[in-house]
């Protein structure tokens, strides 16, 4: 039987719901399906007051959420069929625009990426400071090598026929 309810309690993979069409019946714990549960794991707990569709037994003793529903108060963030997205209440979002072939990740604070190697292929633009706690290299040299060369170089015959001194400010 298909019914509609409002989440009143939530824990990982389970919710309790109030079912208005059944005299505000308050359920026991119903399952919330997850994308992966065996080798790889996913977790998506539902927020209190989320409107849901539930498949339940006739006596309402057991049930499973089959989806969350938008309503007149909680509206989707976009109405374009070609945009797939996840929006969070703090303003963070992940969005894929199929029409423009663009993935956007916008964080209200910090994005951490931790990997042995991160490969970026394509033009890279940075609008802000770049800080590194390790060496920076390109296909020719490293920043340390460039600094060592600059900081110790002199010019022959540059000072009335004599070698110049090393630069007075280090790179």
Model-wide pTM > 0.75: no
Q: What is the pLDDT of residue 50?
A: 96
Whether 92 and 108 have beta carbons less than 8 Å apart is answered as yes
- Closest C-alpha to 96, from 108, 88, 105: 105
Whether 31 and 44 have beta carbons less than 8 Å apart is answered as no
Q: What is the pLDDT of residue 144?
A: 87
Beta bridge partners, 94, equal: 86, 105
Instruction: Please give the Cα distance from 132 to 7 (Å, whole number).
Output: 46
Q: What is the pLDDT of residue 27?
A: 96
Q: What is the pLDDT of residue 159?
A: 66
What mean pLDDT value characterizes the chain?
90
Q: Which domains does the chain have, with CATH numbers?
A: 2-69 (2.40.50.140), 76-117 (no CATH)
Beta bridge partners, 54, equal: 3, 65
Instruction: Please give the Cα distance from 66 to 78 (Å, whole number).
Output: 22
- Tokens, residue 72: 């007149």
């Amino acid at each position: 039987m298909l019914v509609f309810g409002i989440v009143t309690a939530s824990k990982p993979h389970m919710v309790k719901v109030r079912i208005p069409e059944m005299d505000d019946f308050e359920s026991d714990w119903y399952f919330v399906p997850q994308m992966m549960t065996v080798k790889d794991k996913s977790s998506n707990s539902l927020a209190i007051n989320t409107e849901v569709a539930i498949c339940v037994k006739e006596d309402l003793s057991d049930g499973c959420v089959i989806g969350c529903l938008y309503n007149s108060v909680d509206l989707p963030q976009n109405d374009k069929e070609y945009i797939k997205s996840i929006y969070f209440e703090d303003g963070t979002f992940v969005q894929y625009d199929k029409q423009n072939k663009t993935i956007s990740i916008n964080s209200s604070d910090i994005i951490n990426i931790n990997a042995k190697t991160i490969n970026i292929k394509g033009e890279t633009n940075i609008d802000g400071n770049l800080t590194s706690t390790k060496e920076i290299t390109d296909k020719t040299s490293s920043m340390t090598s460039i600094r060592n060369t600059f900081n110790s170089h002199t010019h022959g015959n540059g000072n009335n026929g004599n070698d110049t001194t090393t630069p007075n400010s280090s790179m």
